[in-house]
Structure formats: C-alpha cells, structure tokens
Structure 1
Amino acid sequence: MYSTSFSLLSTILCRWPLSRFSVWSDAKLMEALYDIYVKPDFSVRAEVLKLYSAIALCGIGAKKLLERGEGILLEMVECMGRSRPHHVRIEAFRLAQCIVINEETGLKRMSSCCEPVVKAIINAIDECSLQPEIVTNQQTCVLEEASRLVALITRWAGQHHNYFWKHGIDRALLCLLLGKCPKQLYEGILSLEDEIHIVRDGLKSNYFPGLRVYIWEILGWLATNFNEDVYLKKSSNRLLIDVLLSCACLEFTELFMGWRQICQSDVVNASKNESILRAIMMMIYSPSNYIASKTTSMLTKMLEPNKSYLRDFRHTLTGISCGIISGMPNILLVANLLCLICCVGLPQYTMWDKNAECRKAIVSFVKWCLSNEVHFDRVSYSPHLHFNFHERACCQGPSKEWEGRDVLLLYSFVGLAELIQLGSLTNERDTSFLSIGFTEDELISQLQDICSGCYAPGLKWYAAHILSLLGFYGFPSKFGNKIGRALEGCAYSDIRFIHTNGKSLNVHGVILAARCASLLPPNWLPVNEKDPNYSSFTDKNSSVKTQKEVCLSSHVDDDAMAKLLEYVYRGYLQAGEELAKKLRSLAKHCRIQTLVHILCRRRPKWGTPFPIFNLVAALGPVGHHFSDIILEAKSTKQTSWKCDFCALYVPHMHVHKVILWLSCDYLRALLQSGMKESHSEIIKVPVSWEAMVKLVEWFYSDKLPDPPSECLWHNMDDQEKMNELQSYVELCWLAEFWFLEDLQEVCLNLIVACLEIAHHLSVSVLQMAGDFSLWKLAEIAADFIAPLYSQLRNCGDLEALDERLLSMIRAASIRLSQEGN
C-alpha cells in the first residue's frame, strides 16, 4: 500500500513543483515519512527515497529535510552500500544529487556526512570496475548515478575534495577508464612512453564508454580544486594521478591530431568531445602548478610536429578570422574555441602560430560575441549535464552557475587573457593585436560594463582579469562608483591618515570597518565606546566630525596608500607597474586577498564567487560604533520594540550620515540645509518598518531584497501577497519623493514581475497606486486589468475604484482592442 501511494505522490511532486509546499510544510507528514524511512523494508524505503528526492527538488524542501539532522543523511549513505538492492542504491544516489543542487543549502549542510558519502561513491565505482566484463545493467545504472553525483559535488571547492583523494578517486577513475589498474602503476616510476603504452591499450578496451563524459567532467573539477599540500605530501604514489592525466592528454592528442574531424564532426560527436576539451583546458590552466606543468609537459611530448593536422589547424583559424563563425552550430563553435584556448597554453604555440592566426581567431570570437546577442549555456549542448532534476528544480535562488549563459564569450575571454599574458611575459604587454577587432579603450569600456552588469560570475571574473592585464585592478561596480565619491571631499570623515611627508587623507571609519577593518587604528573605537548607548554623532556643524589622527609609518608609500583607499571605496583602481608593485605589498599587509589576487594577475579559479561590493556589514555591531544618525519608520501596530543598541522604543535603525549623503540627493540637501532637521539625531522616514528596512539595504548595497517566490509565493493567500507588495509600493512612492530614480525603477520591475504571475492582484495594486498618486504604476496595473475589464466590471470587482482609475482601465482596454489583442 505504502509503495503505490509514495510512488504516485513522488510523481506528482516531480511534475508539479507547486505541490511540494503542501508536503514539506506538513510537519506531521514529514515525521511519518521519516518513521517509515528508517524501517528495514527496502521496497518501501526506495519509494521514500524517491519521494525525498522530489521534495529536495525544492530548495526550501531540501532545507526542511536536512533540518532533521544527520539521521536522513546517514540512512541515505547506508542505502548506498553494496549490500543493498540496486534500485535502493540508485534512489539513494539520486537523493544526494538533489540535495547538492545548491552549494549553500545542500553541500554545506551535508558536510558532516561528506566523508561517508565519498566512501560510498568510491566503493560503488570499485565494485563495478574490478570485473568490468561481467557488470550487469543494474550495476551500470548504479555506477552512472554515482558518477553523476561526483560530477555535481566536485563543482564546489571544499573539504570533500581532500576526501576524494584520500579514498582513491584517481585509482577509481583509472579503473573506469582502463579496466583493472595495471600492476606497473604500483611498482614505481614509469617513463612517459610506458605510461602512454599502458594508457593507449587500456583506453582501447573501451570499458564504460557512456561514463567517459562524466570522468572528464570530474577530472576537470579535480584539477581546478587540486590541493598539492594535502595530496602530494601524503601520497606515496604520484604515478596514479600522472597516468590519469596521461589518459586525458592522450585522448585530447588523438582528437587534436584529427583536427579536420573536429571541424567537420556532427553535433553528437562534438558534444562528446566537449567534455575532454574542457577538461584539458582546466588542467592546462589549473591553479595547481603540478597539474598544469604535468599536463603541458605531456601534451608537448605527445603532440609531435605533423604537417597535416597543423595545416588543418591553420586553415580553420584563417576561416574563423575571416568570419565563418556565424555559420557554425553552437557546439562546434565551443569545440573549436576550446581547442584554440588549449593550444595557446602550450609551449609550442608560438611555433604553430607564426602568422598570428590564433590571435586573430580568438579576437574574432570576442568581437563576434560582444557584437551579437550570443547567449547559451553548457546544458544546451552537453546532454550529460541534463540530470533528472535539471528543469524540475524550484526555490533554488538566483542561478550560481559560474559559466552562465555567455559560455562562448567566457571561453573567448580565457583565450584573450592568455594572449595578453604571453606578451607580458617578455615585459612588453602586446595589445596591438586588439586593433584587429576594436580599440583598447573600447575593450576596457566593455569589460567594465560586464563587471558591473548582471552576468555570470565566471564572465565577470575574466573581465576583471583582462582589465588587470591592461593596468586596471579590481571589480568595477555602480555602487562602488557611488561610494567612491566620499574620497573626493572630507564630509563626515572621522579619521585622518598623516604621512611623514605631511600629506594627509580624510577617511570614514564606517567604510573602513565594512571594507577593510585592518586599516582602522589598533584598538580604536570612538571616544565613548564604553557607553553601550553611544553612537558617534556629529557636532552642530552637520558635516564635521571629531577626527582621529593616525600617523603612518615612513614605509607606507603615499601614492600606494591613496590607491589602496581607492580600492576600499570604489573596489577598482588604475595603476602603473611600479605603483602596482608597491600596492601589492600594502594589500598583503592589510590582508585584502581579492586585491592581492588581482594585482598578482593570477587566473581566476573556476567556480570562485565574484567579489560583491557592499557595506551591509556596517549595519551590524561593527558599524554601530560609527553610527551618527537614526532613521525612524512611521508608526506601526507593533506594541513593543527593543533595540540592542539604545533605549528607543519605536522601530528605527542606526545608520551613517556619510552613506545617506552619498545615496540620496534629498537627504544630502537635508543634511546640508542648516535647518533644524539637519542638526537632528533622528530622521523620520514616512514609510512602514518593512519598507524602511528595504530602503536601508538599498543604501548600503544598491540591492533590494526580493519578495518570496515560487513555492512560498504561490502558497500565500492574496492578503499576504499584498502585504509583501505594499512595502515595494511605499518605496516606489518614497523614491519619487526623494529623487531615487534607480530605486523606483527596481521597485516597479519587482511589482510587475509579481503581477505577471498573479494578474488578479492588479485591481488591489491599482487601488494602492491611486492612494499614493503613483500614476505610472497605476497605468501598469491598468494594462494588466484591461484583458479582464468586461468580466471584472460585470462581477462588480471594480466598484471600489474612483473615476480616474476606472478611466485608466477603460483607456487600457480600448488600446488593447485597437491592437487586435
């Protein structure tokens, strides 16, 4: 009975995401499920695992599962064991895949059971690879799900990588590729020729051909996150990893030496080739010197000069630089580009590309991608990335895929960065080849826009990396430009840095505290730090504060210090080679790792989050010591209010005049007006507490928190949805009053996005817009109502609206009918 019911329920949850909320939000049902889950009946347990997987497709559902503690995870690991039925093991591996969709909600919460999961995966691989000739179809299915799980987990950096190496991931992958690991691999050192011989014979056996794409995917991520200090020092046998690298290099070599086949291959074959090409790229450019040097050394020896494939290679490059890109399928574009990037990373590249065809080809890719709307992700051309849950997951938050939907431009940037870097190795940064497609200034402008725009982390990282090669260091952002204006004057500055040559710099403690606390004077807090209710309020002159003078060491270069503060305030700077060298030393001393990384011009590590510029930390305890003004929300129905920092009993927030001064023209004028309000310690904000919290977050991050979405939104009643929207409508009104055009646009977009999935709220939003005299929002709401005008009028749902709002709906309805819709 249980099995049939659970099977039906899991099918429903998989197909209809909105149904998941009613399951994971039912505490009694979840408790009953767990009681059944831990029983020894494996026919039922398999169905519960399947049901848990369907629940975990929802990011919030996954959290709810993991909130039970380790019990669910330990039972899941136990179900992965070889003594369990194959169908149970398959479902256990699939549940783990669903849990780790999202690094934040899954992988980190699963950290306590990470090593047992890794051991279960390695055991499943070993079990099948010991006698590959007699592996059953069910065992192959178990192996495939285990391999998919490894491909998912290894995307993220973390302790689990050390566990994989500790439990022999290199040996396990070799067994999948070669069958049993030859005895010679345990007997000591082999020459490269012997390695190649063993690898070539093993690969010809073609065991588990369907898993090759996962193996290369896994190897690419292992190379990216390889920890030399942990693995190489503890391992007594480097030969296994060397032979594993040889497998990939030999596969690439045979593919590359048949270059014409890459160019002319069909989409299916190109999709299979993509995984090995990408793995080699990640190995060549691995942060690990060992991986990178071994890979390039092997490829250099394997790719012996051959006029045939080099002729085909050059012919393709010429064609690309002459503009044949637009006629290729996406996967062929990617395959060709990956090959080019790999070639640029090899020592013999300069011999192959004497006429700069590769340079021209990569610049052509960059120019073509920047000039055209070319958007697609890896999933669109790599079938092995289509996991069971790919298009069924919900509530996972914003996409954190590092490569994103601009994968072709990202790969083009990888190649471009390497070309520029090649010039800098001879101390002559050669960017003259950029004139093939665009000027250097045009490129810099495009790269800055990408860094500050809504793009995937990988593309933004490589844009910042290329900028560093051109003398621009950091991470440009719109918010950084806004905060950077504080350096241009001394308004509300409370610290003065004084150099030995007499030069001085006025700075703001709150910005230093949020962005680089090591720059604050040692053991220094404002004078009244012992008073728990203290905030550093200004004197009667609203823009002047008591300053703390800090004398800097003679070892601190004044130009380098000025540039360091420019990075702290703006997140971005321009510097010549000599100044960058001095700045690098200062940044190391101040422990600003992101700046050190970019000043050293290191390649971005695949998967690393892009640094975000914000001052949100200043809203916490560290920033309270520098607070000099309070924002008070309008009266609320709340009967009690308690502040951790002061004795005020009304909803309020401790903030900083310099941030208000930078963020809002209206508040800047108010603070500088000289009127009574400019000397007040409290500014009353005419919106609700919920709206004011969002406003302050905007001031300190240039971002608004999103309203609930997907499962949460769809399972709220209409009144709850309107309560959520009200704060954005209030902000929309305040933004108009306070001249915050960007904030108003963001609020309007959020409201429109909610109305697009809840049209029936348009009447309430229209009424609210009328109450606030927000006529632009009212017109938007009227457009949503227009298709239902007759129906709503006949039902009497529009009777509460005044004549002005009704006329707006009628006008929208007439426009709609005239457009033929």
Structure 2
Amino acid sequence: MASNVAVKLVSVLPNPLLQSHMLDLVYCLSSLLSSHQVEVAIPCATTLNFVISNLSATNEKDVMEALKETEASLRIVGNIKDFAEGVKKIEYFEEMTLLLSTILWRWPPSRFSVCNDVILMKGLANIHTKTDSSIKLALLKLYTSIALCDSAARRLIEDEEIFPQMFVQAMGKSNPHAIRIEGFRLAQCLLRSQDNCLKVVGLCGDALVEAIICGMTETRLTSKKFGNNHGSLSVEACQLALITRWAGDHHTNFWKQGIDRVLLSLLIENIEDQLFEPVLALEKQIYMAKEGLKANYHLGRRSYLWDILGWLTIHCGENLYPYTRGSELCIKLLITCACLSFVDTLEKWCRICQKDIDDHFQSEPVSRTVLMMIHSPCNSISSHTKFLLSDVLKVKGMPCLKSLLHTLDYTSSLESYGSFDKLQLVINLIGFTCLSSLPQYRRCIIESKGIKVIVLLLKRCLNNDIHIERQSFTPHLHTHERSCCCFDKEDWEGSNILLFYSLLALTEILHQCDLLQENPQQFSGEVTNITPQFVSKLQEIYKSNSFSHGVRWYVSYILTYFGYYGFPTELAKRIGKSLNKEEYSDMKLVLANGESLSVHVAILAVRCPSLVPPQLLLCRKSSKEIADEFVRGTVREVRLSSHVDYEALVLLLEYVYSGCLHASEETAKKLKILAKRCSLQPLFQMLDRQRPKWGLPFPNFNLTSAFGLAGSCFSDIILGAKSNELVGWTCDICSDTVPHMHVHKVILQSGCDYLQGLFRSGMQESHSQVIKVDISWQALIKLVQWFYSDELPGPPSGCLWDNMDDQEKLFNLQPYVELYWLAEFWILENIQKACFNVIMSCLDSSWRLSIRIIKMAYNLSLWKLVDIAANLMAPSYRQLRDSGELEEFDDALVDLIYSASIQLN
C-alpha cells in the first residue's frame, strides 16, 4: 500500500517540495526494487522513474551517487533478467525497463556496463520478438539510452544479423506511431557517426532509406484525429535524413526512392497536383515556386529540408539522371525554390543594421544549400543553379554584390561579435562566394577589392580573432546533449565555419578569375604586398593535423597560385631527406640520356606503384620467394622511356618522398602529364587546379602498408621484441617464432638519430639483420606504427576504458611506459611526449594504476614517472600501508611515497 501511495504522492507534490526530499525517496525506493512482491516492486519503479525524470540539475549528482550506492542499476538488470526467464508479468518488465532507460539517460557511466552484459542483451533480443506494443516501446527507449554511448552503439551494431534490422523495422509504417518515433530516435543515436552509418547502410540501406522517406511524408496525413503524432514523426525522420551529410551508397537509394519529390512536397503544399506537365517554362517554374514558398508550408522543417537537399546535391555523382529519370522537373523546381529563398535572404541580410529577420534560423541552411548546388559534381545541377541565380539576380545582382562587399568590409573590422553579427557575416560571405562563381560579376569583384576583404577575414580567423561554429546558429542540429564516448571525426568543413567559407571564397575568386595570369597588376596591388606573411600562414595550416580536411584542401588549392603543390606532413619531411640518396637504395631509375636517380622500392610501392616494375609488385603477394634476393642488397635498374622529362621526374619524386614541391607554371605543366600517367590523382588535381571535391579526405602520407606483407619483401632489417608469452605466434615472411617485424632502414633512420648512427657506425650491430628491442610485442607494434605513420595509436578511452578492471588497464598502459623508456634511450622526443600524455591521462582517470606503474617506472629508472605516481598515491598512503599493499615495495619506494604524503599533509 505504501508504494502505491508513493506513486500518487510524487505526482501531486509541488516540485520544490519534492526536490527537498529527493535523496530520502531514492534510497527508500531503490532498496525496494528487488522486492519479491511484484505489487511492491512495480510502483516503486514507477515512482523512482518519475522522481529521476523530474530531477533538478542541483540534485542530479547526489541522486546519481545514491543510485550507485544502492546498486539500483544492478537490481533493475537482475529484475529484467527474471522477466526474460518468464517468471514476471509484462507490466513488471515495462516499468523496470523504463526506469533503467531513464537512469542510463541521466547517468552515462552506467551505459556501457549494461550493454556489456551478454546475458541481459541476449534476453532483450529475445524479448523484442514479442508482439506486445508496450514491451517494444519500453525496449526501444532502453536501447536509445544505451546508444547515447558511442562505444555501446558500435557494439550494438556489431550484431549484424539482428539489431540493425530490428531498429529499421521499428521505423516501418506497420507499427504504431509511438514505436516508430522511438525507432527514429534510436536510429539517430546509432547513426550519429559516419562509420556506424555506412555499416548499417551496407547491411540494410534500402530498408533504412525507405523508412526515412515514409516517415518524412507522414506529415501530409496530419489531422485532428491523429493529433501531433504525425508531425513529430516527420521531424524525427527529417532529423535522421541528415545522414546524407556523409557520402555513401545511401545517396543512390534516396534518389531512387524519390527524395526529390518528397522534399518538394514538403516545401510546396499540394505540388503533386501541379506536376501533370513534364516540362514547364522557366517563368512558370519561378511563379509556382514563389507562390508555394509564400504559404510558409512546414516552415519549421525547412532548415532540415535545405540541409538534406544540399548534402544530396554535393555528394551525388557526375551523372545523376539514371537514378532520377522523369524527375528533372522536380529537381529544377527544388533549385528554383532554393535560389529564390537565397536571394530573398541576401536582400534581408546585406544591410548592416538589419536586426528584425524573423526566419533567421533557415537563412544559413538555404544559403549553404545554394553554395553546395553550385559546387555539385553533377554538371546539370551546378549549371542550372548558376543559370537560375543569374536570371533571378538579373536586375538586383550588382547592387546586391556591392552591398555584400560593403557589409563584409564593415563587419570584418568589428572588434567583437554578437551572435547576430556572426550569422550576418557568414551569410554575407556565402552570398559573396555564390555570386563570385557567376562570370558577370568578375570585374566588379576585382574593382571593389574583393580579394582584400576576404584576405582580411582570413587573417583575422588565423589570428583567432573570429571563431564561428555552425551549431551556434543551427538549432536543428542540436541533438544528443547527453551522449558520451563521441569520438567522431571533425566535420569536413571544420569547427570555424568562417575560416572555411573565407577559404572557399578566395578559392572561387582565383578559380574564376585566375588573377595571377589575367590581371597580375590588380593581384599585385591587393595581395602581393602581404604574400610572404599570408603564404607562410597558409603553409602552417596545410602542414597541421589540427585543421579540418576541407580547410586543408582549400589552402592547398590556393597555394598552387604561389607555386606550392602537394600535402606536406612531418613524416614526409623526414622521408624527404632520403630522396636520391644511395644509402639504403635498392633501385635506380635510369633515363634515356643516362642520368639516374636512386630510389627505395618500399617507398615507391606505397606512394607511386607505377614507377615500380610490375614483376616486383606481383612478388609482394608471395614475398618469401623474393625476400632473399632483396636482402642481399642488390640494386635494380629500371630504364625509363625517352618521353620522361628529367626535371619533371625529379619533382615527381620530390612529391613522392616529401609530399610537396615548389615549381613554376611552365614546369608544373610538364609535371602534370607525368603525374597523370603515374596515377597520382591528388597531385594531378592540384597541378590541374581542379577545385577540391566536397567531403574528399585530405591525402595522408602513410607508409604503414610497407611493413605489412605488401612491403615486407623489400625489407632490409628486422626489429625483434623481447620474448614473452605469445603462444603460437608465426610470421608470414619467415620461420622465426620470436615476435618480430620486417622493416626498412630508410624509414627507421629518418625518424631516429640513434638508429641512423647505429646503421652508419660500422660496428657489429650495424651489419646485423636483426635488432633486438627490449620492449614487448604490443609496444613494438606501436613503435613501428609511429615510424611509418607519425601517429602513436592510443589506448581505449571513454566508457570502454572506464569499464575495464585494473589488470586490463595495466595491460593497455604498460606498452606506453616501455616506449617512454625507449624514447629516452633512442632520443625520440615526439614519442616520449606522446607517451607521457597517455600515461598521465590514464593515471588521472584511475589512481590505483599508480601502484603498478610506480614499480615499473622505478625498475626502468624513470624518475619523473616515479615522482608523479608517488604523488598520486600519497593521499592514500595510510590505507595502502594498513592493507599491506606496500609490503612488496622496496624501502626506497615506500619512503618516497611516505615523503609525498607528508608534503601533502
């Protein structure tokens, strides 16, 4: 009876009064969750769910601690397992599952442990087959809360046979609306990373897209009978449709299933009734679009619709119409709607003092969409967008452009920016970029010193004077605030959207006008006087991994106008020093005039396979047959055609080895021919000054495939790990059973002065085919990974790390301690710094690891780590002493920890 009273009481008590007694309620109700009396457990779960759902931010931490102390999650999980065994009634499962869902939503640390419970997850999978709607709804809510942890979401999707089909099926129109909505919310959590999205698309892409399109169109059925359910369903479907931001096969599915008609029907009411003619005059199309947009049909969804349309057009292929046959009119009307809305937006935003724009939240999405359509790889979309934009701007285009330039010039000089100023700056910059793509405005841009304005914006962005994130004015993108373990790659555009748009604007101007050739005096007056500083700043960007792929691509394009081509990295800089050095060379490229260049097959096989004889590339598949021949140190000669230009070949190899080159316009033309024949597409794209394709990953200088089976046949040295308990370890190259890796001297010495000195010393070790490294196999793998990629793989993190026991954590952390020691011995400062950061991060998250690490650091004489670990153990010195954990320590170590505790006190 008391539990039933509690249900009624919490529902009628004023919230302030409820908050003041929150902890007492939580302790009491949590303890009763495991009651064998179902009549007690169910109302307790209901009451606790209500209490946690209405929790204030000030009480949240204390309540979560109370739930942890009473082991509420473990109790609930046990109760759900009881139901799975068929001993409890449906209402019991429903209330327990909803309560667990609420706790997981509020308390991220508990998500992964629930997902990691194999028995529970199998039981839930079996329960989902039941037809009861209330069970399915509760189960979907639980999965959604679990999937807020990205590590858990990845694990759920790994169940390829059941789980993806389950949540896609939940979105289907045969289900009640409540289940469909929860299915969409679950899908949004699961597919918020590109890897998860593409994996699900590969498993059930057609069904996924069909469910999304069906959900988007439900809005047309809205009536009093159904209330707001259909509207909510449409919004959730539109939110999920933003998976179009990633390129993939799902784009083809969207076009095949008529996404163009769906988007058009959501923009213009009853448009299907007006599409009875396959062809309409341009004036008729513009009239239909104008009248349709005036009605403000589904105005709240337009931000979604514009974004979806933009992503679809930027990621489509060069030839879209095989998938949209018969839909040409729909696509043209969508372009018309976007262009009209965009021009209307520009007219509102290009005035400096305009502050009364009601629909400003859709201003950026529609502007961005038109920009994407202009840059679409599909020529029919790009050309029609430019044609239509030119037509709509026929009268007001020039005044609009001058106003945009004036406003940009003004806003770019402001000392501080409010949210409105930032949005205005972004929209005006997009508008300027779009107009600069139209040839009729070229002269005006040059005469109005357009480049000077953009360069000023770029300089302020690079000096961190202005930083604008897109999410700051796109509320429709704000989702999953309580998510955890989100290690998504940064958006292609980067976090500072103003920097990206400024680079795109400058790229567009240079692409359209080619000012260096057509108007060098004008360019000299505006840019050349700041070229050294400006170019230097840009070069810092494309060398740095801290900037996004899109930013680095556009910087690389801009720098081609200053004679710089390629994609430099720190690793490329190191490898570049080995170019045309006979040391460790195993092949010579001989030209027709007798000149030759020394090269390394391992590097060419990864960076430019076209220069390697085909028989050598074939040998990579059976490396054992050629290993002996290459280890002997023979140098092969490869004679090149008389058509190969020496200067072009030298520059090509400079790109292959160092990732970049500097060349005059004339030399670049000759190099372009060779780059095309060698299938070096990124280099050819830069030499040909093709604008970067939106979403294309920035080229990465990575040689890791050279130490696999593919390049090991060209190996000239072996790195061996110290003996350990690796049972059954075998090598694909040789018969040695001690863990080792076949590597290359040219790559090792480029990153390590110690090894370089060793190889050149003439001592016995310099002639040895095997170098023993006193580190474990796990540490050796990470070391070689760094040599070949300049990246040190990190340990597990987030919930995955937090849910490991100390032994698992130590196993993952130990290789970094070993590498930290080796880096000091081999003088590898970058590795030492990276390992130190990893070790500190891990020790901060779990101080008990210090007990294990301090002994290892002491034995390796790593006194800095010893001091750090002692300081972390100091607060618990008495506890450790009394428990006997310090008895196995050396007296010197115990004294060190004791001293640290005294200093702390």
Q: TM-score, normalised by structure 1?
A: 0.92
Instruction: Tell me the CA shift for residue 700 of structure 1.
Output: 0.8
Instruction: Report the Cα distance in structure 1 between the residues aligned to 2:900 and 2:428, rounded to whole angstroms.
Output: 51
1:144 is the counterpart of 2:235? yes
Instruction: Report the Cα distance in structure 1 between the residues aligned to 2:356 and 2:818, rounded to whole angstroms.
Output: 56
Q: Which residue of 2 aligns with 1:273?
A: 363
CA deviations 1:172-207 (Å, max 9, x no partner) are 000000012254434132222211110111111112
Instruction: Report the Cα distance in structure 2 between the residues aligned to 1:759 and 1:640, rounded to whole angstroms.
Output: 35
Q: 1:315 to 1:628 in 2, by over 3 A?
A: closer
Q: 1:790 to 1:464 in 2, by over 3 A?
A: farther
Which one is further off, 503-512 or 49-58?
49-58
Q: Which residue of 1 aligns with 2:690?
A: 602
1:88 is the counterpart of 2:176? no
Contact 1:377 1:403 in 2 (8 A): no
Q: 1:555 to 1:683 in 2, by over 3 A?
A: same
Q: Which residue of 2 aligns with 1:340?
A: 432
Contact 1:258 1:309 in 2 (8 A): no
Instruction: Tell me the CA shift for residue 145 of structure 1.
Output: 0.7
Q: 1:404 to 1:794 in 2, by over 3 A?
A: farther
Contact 2:587 2:637 in 1 (8 A): yes
CA deviations 1:53-94 (Å, max 9, x no partner) are 233333332333233324333333332222321111111112
Unpaired runs of at least 5, structure 2: 1-91
Q: Which amino acid letter does the alignment assign opposite residue 506 of structure 1?
A: S
Instruction: Report the Cα distance in structure 2 between the residues aligned to 1:440 and 1:578, rounded to whole angstroms.
Output: 21
- Residue number among 798, 810, 828 corresponding to 1:722 in the alignment: 810
SS state at 1:115 partner: helix
Q: Which residue of 2 aligns with 1:654?
A: 742
Contact 2:408 2:425 in 1 (8 A): no
Instruction: Report the Cα distance in structure 1 between the residues aligned to 2:892 and 2:687, rounded to whole angstroms.
Output: 59
SS state at 1:642 partner: coil
Q: Which residue of 2 aligns with 1:289?
A: 379
Q: 1:26 to 1:186 in 2, by over 3 A?
A: same
Q: Which residue of 1 aligns with 2:459?
A: 367
Instruction: Tell me the CA shift for residue 782 of structure 1.
Output: 4.8
Instruction: Report the Cα distance in structure 2 between the residues aligned to 1:402 and 1:324, rounded to whole angstroms.
Output: 28
Q: Which amino acid letter does the alignment assign opposite residue 271 of structure 2?
A: C
Instruction: Report the Cα distance in structure 2 between the residues aligned to 1:534 and 1:703, rounded to whole angstroms.
Output: 30
Instruction: Report the Cα distance in structure 1 between the residues aligned to 2:791 and 2:654, rounded to whole angstroms.
Output: 22
Q: Which amino acid letter does the alignment assign opposite residue 37 of structure 1?
A: H
Which one is further off, 612-621 or 586-595?
586-595
Q: 1:283 to 1:355 in 2, by over 3 A?
A: same
Q: Which amino acid letter does the alignment assign opposite residue 674 of structure 1?
A: G
CA deviations 1:559-585 (Å, max 9, x no partner) are 222222222212212222232222222
CA deviations 1:491-522 (Å, max 9, x no partner) are 11111111111111111111111222222102
Q: Which residue of 1 aligns with 2:41?
A: none
Q: 1:132 to 1:241 in 2, by over 3 A?
A: farther
Instruction: Report the Cα distance in structure 1 between the residues aligned to 2:873 and 2:663, rounded to whole angstroms.
Output: 55
1:99 is the counterpart of 2:190? yes
- Residue number among 381, 390, 401 corresponding to 1:300 in the alignment: 390
Q: 1:730 to 1:373 in 2, by over 3 A?
A: farther
CA deviations 1:751-784 (Å, max 9, x no partner) are 1122232234334433332222223333444554
Contact 2:439 2:512 in 1 (8 A): no
1:315 is the counterpart of 2:406? yes
Q: Which residue of 2 aligns with 1:176?
A: 266
Instruction: Report the Cα distance in structure 1 between the residues aligned to 2:333 and 2:161, rounded to whole angstroms.
Output: 37
Unpaired runs of at least 5, structure 1: none
Instruction: Tell me the CA shift for residue 344 of structure 1.
Output: 2.2
- Residue number among 766, 772, 778 corresponding to 1:690 in the alignment: 778
Q: Which amino acid letter does the alignment assign opposite residue 169 of structure 1?
A: I
- Residue number among 625, 645, 648 corresponding to 2:713 in the alignment: 625
CA deviations 1:614-653 (Å, max 9, x no partner) are 1110121111111121111112133443222211121111
Which one is further off, 472-481 or 134-143?
134-143
Which one is further off, 425-434 or 515-524?
425-434
- Residue number among 473, 476, 482 corresponding to 2:574 in the alignment: 482
- 1:193-204 aligned at under 5 Å gives the runs 193-204=283-294
Instruction: Report the Cα distance in structure 2 between the residues aligned to 1:240 and 1:185, rounded to whole angstroms.
Output: 8
Instruction: Report the Cα distance in structure 1 between the residues aligned to 2:623 and 2:444, rounded to whole angstroms.
Output: 71
SS state at 1:473 partner: strand
Instruction: Report the Cα distance in structure 2 between the residues aligned to 1:572 and 1:318, rounded to whole angstroms.
Output: 34
Contact 1:267 1:331 in 2 (8 A): no
Q: Which residue of 2 aligns with 1:449?
A: 540
Q: Which amino acid letter does the alignment assign opposite residue 789 of structure 2?
A: S
Instruction: Tell me the CA shift for residue 437 of structure 1.
Output: 10
SS state at 1:730 partner: helix
Q: Which residue of 1 aligns with 2:162?
A: 71
1:572 is the counterpart of 2:660? yes
- Residue number among 651, 661, 664 corresponding to 1:563 in the alignment: 651
Q: 1:165 to 1:522 in 2, by over 3 A?
A: same
Contact 2:624 2:733 in 1 (8 A): yes
Instruction: Report the Cα distance in structure 2 between the residues aligned to 1:267 and 1:787, rounded to whole angstroms.
Output: 58
Q: 1:260 to 1:63 in 2, by over 3 A?
A: closer
Contact 1:70 1:113 in 2 (8 A): no
- 1:536-547 aligned at under 5 Å gives the runs 536=628, 545-547=633-635
Which one is further off, 135-144 or 73-82?
73-82
- Residue number among 125, 132, 140 corresponding to 1:34 in the alignment: 125
Which one is further off, 124-133 or 581-590?
124-133
Contact 2:247 2:315 in 1 (8 A): yes
Q: Which residue of 2 aligns with 1:756?
A: 844
Instruction: Tell me the CA shift for residue 3 of structure 1.
Output: 1.9
Contact 2:603 2:657 in 1 (8 A): yes
- Residue number among 334, 342, 367 corresponding to 1:244 in the alignment: 334
SS state at 2:772 partner: strand
Contact 1:20 1:58 in 2 (8 A): yes
Contact 1:49 1:95 in 2 (8 A): yes
CA deviations 1:244-268 (Å, max 9, x no partner) are 0111100011111223567633798
Q: Which is greater in Rg?
A: 2
- 1:411-430 aligned at under 5 Å gives the runs 411-424=501-514, 427-428=517-518, 430=520
Instruction: Report the Cα distance in structure 1 between the residues aligned to 2:654 and 2:593, rounded to whole angstroms.
Output: 20
Contact 2:592 2:640 in 1 (8 A): yes
1:60 is the counterpart of 2:151? yes
Instruction: Report the Cα distance in structure 2 between the residues aligned to 1:525 and 1:604, rounded to whole angstroms.
Output: 31
- Residue number among 87, 92, 98 corresponding to 1:7 in the alignment: 98
Higher relative contact order (CA closer than 8 Å, sequence separation 6+):
1
Q: Which amino acid letter does the alignment assign opposite residue 362 of structure 2?
A: K
Q: 1:308 to 1:688 in 2, by over 3 A?
A: closer
Instruction: Report the Cα distance in structure 2 between the residues aligned to 1:576 and 1:635, rounded to whole angstroms.
Output: 54
Identity %: 45
Instruction: Report the Cα distance in structure 2 between the residues aligned to 1:107 and 1:263, rounded to whole angstroms.
Output: 45
1:491 is the counterpart of 2:583? yes
